[in-house]
Amino acid sequence: MSEQFDSSYDVVVIGGGASGLSCAVQAAKDGLTCALLEKEEHTGGSSAFAEGHAAFESDEQIKRGITVTKTQAFDTYLDYSHWRADPTIVSRFVANAATTIVKMRDEEGAVYEDVTVTAVDQPGELVTWHLPEGEVAHLIELLEADARHRGVDIFLSTTATSVLQDATGKVVGVAARDADGEQVRLGAKAVVIGTGGYAGNPELIDKYTRYDHLGGKLINVGGPGNTGDGLGMVLAAGGTEHPSIGTLLLFPIMRDKTITSHTNAAGFQPYFWVNAHGRRFTDEVIGLNFGNAGDVTAGLPGSMFWSVFDTATIRHLVEDGNEVGLGIYVRNGEKLVNLPTEIEADAADETRTNVVSADTVEELAVKMGVDPTVLRAEVDAYNAACAAGEDTRFHKPAKFLLPVTTPPFYGVKMETGIMITMGAIRIDDHMRCLDKAGAPIPGLYSVGCDAGGLFGESYSLPIPGSANGFALTSGWLTADDIAERIEAGVL
Ligand SMILES: Cc1cc2nc3c(=O)[nH]c(=O)nc-3n(C[C@H](O)[C@H](O)[C@H](O)COP(=O)(O)OP(=O)(O)OC[C@H]3O[C@@H](n4cnc5c(N)ncnc54)[C@H](O)[C@@H]3O)c2cc1C
């Protein structure tokens, strides 16, 4: 061991989410010595909230008769991103994602229960969402156990602070603060940055996105550790930002509610939404793609809207089920049986200002803080569209035209939630971080949500499971690349 370091490894992985753990396990399988640093007390990051991951032409798809092809996936990523995604990175992911399924199942013990979509009515959505038993949280448990079993040193409550380089810029290790607050220096031939993006860092959100002071308003439902540390370390080491930096996965959500709440689920159904001024602003069918709905919400005054519905709609949601779910937290078509009790309690709760109810539209408007004449006119126009079965203003499909006619009426305030950021660090298709000249920084890699290239300006929800699929796949691909370069004597 060099005197310069407290200990040395072939590879040090920063971040214990899906990407970091996938990388660490594969590094050990490839015969490399490996340490993984995780700043929280446990592994998991945002990955622990994910339900499933994308793959293309996997054996799990084929045995279920699902015919999604790699070509369809490649074309969808590029079309959806207006070719702002990097075709070389898309290609590498699309080619290898099915192998991730085999690795997770045959080598780690995962069981895939289903392959499905997130919203049945979302046009063009590909059937790519592979749902493992126990969701991705269980994959994390399996990977962590295997990493430990294979001798990976996992340091929890340990925050990496910088990447160490020699005079030529080659990576030689990592500086970190350990669980006792002591500075440690770990030597490494390669360092992998998998810190999960910066969804929990309002300043970086404001720096990299075009929205007006959005950072402080966002409701972060992802991992608390995702504060952009990896991006900062890579920039300090001479790396660069991918042009798609600022891409966020946003979605409408109520403040002070969990994602399993039925009042919240009623709020994002594609019925009748008005902005802070009481005006309808969109075809609510965007609610079927929660990422698009989140982008629209973020750009509204106050980054919020009111979802307004009546008692007949509540009955419909209880008896017939919803139009769109939220992952596995509220399933597609689920009957919102808790809704009547939950929303009554919410409306009666004087400390809560984001659910209101009233017997007239005008009274409701006052409680929502909008002009009653404006809301009355918007409701009348919408109800007329419902009666005609045709929405000539926003062209919403007739099946989602449910009128607001049966009192009591309800208003649910939906704000902007964030799950993850994507697309921060510029990498090549071997996940190597690139400098300003586009050359790889020797020994420096980035994976998962920290890495840019799979997305353009928004998340590709028509390919469900992309973020976690890329995290798992970029992790093991990176370990293999490092092993090959060490073997070849170039790292
Ligand atoms: C509610 C929710 C549901 C989701 N559902 C899905 C889904 O079904 N399918 C899908 O594809 N995606 C989904 N996602 C997104 C998906 O979870 C992530 O995009 C992906 O798994 C991220 O993996 P990662 O390894 O890049 O980051 P993470 O899993 O966030 O891991 C990063 C880790 O790095 C740690 N870290 C940060 N800084 C440091 C530091 N300085 N030193 C040491 N450690 C550090 C963090 O604490 C964290 O544990 C969902 C996200 C949320 C929030």
Closest ligand 1 atom number to CA of residue 465: 11
> Ligand 1, from 25, 143, 163, 195: best to mutate by most atoms within 8 Å of Cβ?
195
In 3D, which of 165, 184, 188 has the Cα closest to residue 175? Answer: 184
The answer to whether residues 13 and 34 touch, using CB atoms and an 8 Å cutoff, is yes
Q: How far is CA 47 from CA 223, 283, 290, in A?
A: 8, 31, 18
In 3D, which of 476, 475, 465 has the Cα closest to residue 52? Answer: 465
- Integer Rg of the chain from CA: 24
In 3D, which of 53, 7, 173, 34 has the Cα closest to residue 479? Answer: 34
For each of the domains in the chain, give its residue range(s) and CATH number, in order of start: 7-245+423-487 (3.50.50.60), 248-418 (3.90.700.10)
> Ligand 1, from 25, 41, 46: best to mutate by most atoms within 8 Å of Cβ?
46
The residue whose C-alpha atom lies closest to atom 38 belonging to ligand 1 is: 195
Predicted structure pTM score: 0.95
In the prediction, which pLDDT does 423 show?
83
**Three-state helix/strand/coil letters over 273-332:** EECCCCCECCCHHHHHCHHHHHHHHHCCHHHEEEEEEEHHHHHHHHHCCCCCCECCCECC
Residues 6+ apart with CB under 8 A from 52: 116, 129, 130, 131, 132, 135, 136, 464, 465, 468
> Ligand 1, from 193, 468, 473, 478: best to mutate by most atoms within 8 Å of Cβ?
468
Full pLDDT tens readout for the chain, 491 residues: 455 899 999 999 999 999 999 999 999 999 999 999 999 999 999 999 999 999 999 999 999 999 999 999 999 999 999 999 999 999 999 999 999 999 999 999 999 999 999 877 777 899 999 999 999 999 999 999 999 999 999 999 999 999 999 999 999 999 999 999 999 999 999 999 999 999 999 999 999 998 888 999 999 999 999 999 999 999 999 999 999 999 999 999 999 999 999 999 999 999 999 999 999 999 999 998 899 999 999 999 999 999 999 999 999 999 999 999 888 889 889 999 999 999 999 999 999 999 999 999 999 999 999 999 999 999 999 999 999 999 999 999 999 999 999 999 999 999 999 999 998 999 999 999 999 999 999 999 999 999 999 999 888 889 999 999 999 999 999 999 999 999 999 99
| φ, ψ at 395 (rounded to 5°) | 60, 35
Tokens standing for residue 146: 């295997």
Strands (E), 38-182: 53-54, 112-116, 129-132, 153-155, 159-165, 171-177
